[in-house]
Each structure stands twice: as C-alpha cells, then as structure tokens.
C-alpha cells in the first residue's frame, strides 16, 4: 500500500517577508488510508508522524513554499524528505510556471474553489472550517493532477489564445540516497537532530 501524502498549506502574513508568514491550515491526503485530514497551526504535532512515515510528499509549489514554511515549525528538516513538486516538474517541462487553477482547468476541467487571499480573509474572520474546506479542495485538485500525470505522462496548459496544449511530465519519484538509507530501515524519515 502506498505511503504517499499529498499536501497543501494555507498561510497568513506578508508573502514578501516569508519570516512573518505563519501556517493557518495544513491539509493532506493519505494514500495509505484514502483519507483527507486538516490540521490547524496548534495541531501540527499530529502531522509530523504522518510526514515522517511518508514515502513521498506530493504538492504544488511545495518545494519552494509549503515545505520551507512548514519547516519553521518542525524540529528536523522536512526539506530532506522525499518530495515531488508538480510545479517544479511543469517548469522543467514547459519553461514556465503555471497556476494550479490553470493546469487543473486545462487538464481536468476542474477549478479551485477560492484563492489564498480569500483564505487570509477567512482567517481574520475566524472561519477556520472554510479554510479547511478550501485547502482540502486544493489537495484534491493536486491529487487528481498527480494521478492524471502519473497515468498519462502528460498534463495540459492553456495558451494565451485559449488553446489547450499538452506537455510531457514524469512523476516517477527518483529515490535520493538519503531516503534509500532511511526507508531501508523502518520506513521513517530520520532527520531529527540527535
């Protein structure tokens, strides 16, 4: 059974100053249990064991946004965990960065339910359940893009003229030597400082 985890985060703060950005919600999909779960900032300690046992963390812009921000809360180093950043692969294939919503609409004909600015407003209004629903929807969109790309080895992007263009992707995870060592034992990412 796969131990992959699809992850997305919502934040609050000035994205121009990443040191001030804090996590409001983290949502995940666990392939091992076929479940969606959301965690508020105060509940992150419940998330760490799941990520530590993950075979791979899958996200969209996760390598440069989600994981570095989450890493501020984690005792070890999440950046050393095996991860697959869909946006990074898209940029390597097309030479451009596309919004999740654009790729999802072109590939799957589905859209995100809101945006990050709306999530910040909900946070100010104390509407944590709305943030969780939105974040879980983003996880679902990311998961479906991952599965489509893994199966078909392609995704689609919209051109400026509105045409839909295919491009190749390879979502096969290449194990790095660190994870081969850590997963050969108990399947736990051992990055905590001892």
Tens digits of pLDDT across the chain (194 residues): 589 999 999 999 887 888 889 999 999 999 999 999 999 999 999 999 999 999 999 999 999 999 999 999 999 999 999 999 999 999 999 999 999 999 999 999 987 766 667 788 898 899 999 999 999 999 999 999 999 999 999 999 998 888 999 999 999 865 443 344 444 445 555 555 44
| Residue 47 in domain | yes
What is the bridge-based pairing of β-strands 56-59 and 83-85?
Answer: parallel
- As for how many domains the chain has, the answer is 1
What's the pTM?
0.86
CATH number of the domain that residue 65 is part of: 3.30.420.10
Please name the helix (run of DSSP H) or strand (run of DSSP E) that holds residue 137, with its range, or none: helix 128-152
Q: Which residues are CB-contacts of 4 (< 8 A; sequence separation ≥ 6)? A: 31, 54, 55, 56, 57, 58
CB 70 within 8 A of CB 26: yes
How far apart (Å, rounded) are the C-alpha atoms in residues 26 and 91?
24
| Residue 79 in domain | yes
| Residue 180 in domain | no
Helix (H, G, I), strand (E, B) or coil at 96: coil
**Structural domain boundaries, residue 94:** 4-172
| Residue 194 in domain | no
| Residue 193 in domain | no
| Residue 185 in domain | no
């Amino acid at each position: 059974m796969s131990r992959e985890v699809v992850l997305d985060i919502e934040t609050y703060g000035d994205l121009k100053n990443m040191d001030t950005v804090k996590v409001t919600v983290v949502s995940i999909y666990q392939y091992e249990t076929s479940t969606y779960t959301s965690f508020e900032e105060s509940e992150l300690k419940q998330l760490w064991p799941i990520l530590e046992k993950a075979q791979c963390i899958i996200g969209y812009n996760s390598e440069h946004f989600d994981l570095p921000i989450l890493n501020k809360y984690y005792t070890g180093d999440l950046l050393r965990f095996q991860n697959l950043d869909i946006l990074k692969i898209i940029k390597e294939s097309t030479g451009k960065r596309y919004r999740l919503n654009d790729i999802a609409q072109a590939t799957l004909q589905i859209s995100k339910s809101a945006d990050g600015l709306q999530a910040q407003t909900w946070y100010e209004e104390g509407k944590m359940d709305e943030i969780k629903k939105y974040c879980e929807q983003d996880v679902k969109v990311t998961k479906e893009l991952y599965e489509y790309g893994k199966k078909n080895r392609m995704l689609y992007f919209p051109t400026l003229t509105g045409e839909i263009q295919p491009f190749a992707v390879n979502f096969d995870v290449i194990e790095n030597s660190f994870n081969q060592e850590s997963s050969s034992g108990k399947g736990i990412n051992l990055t905590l400082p001892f």
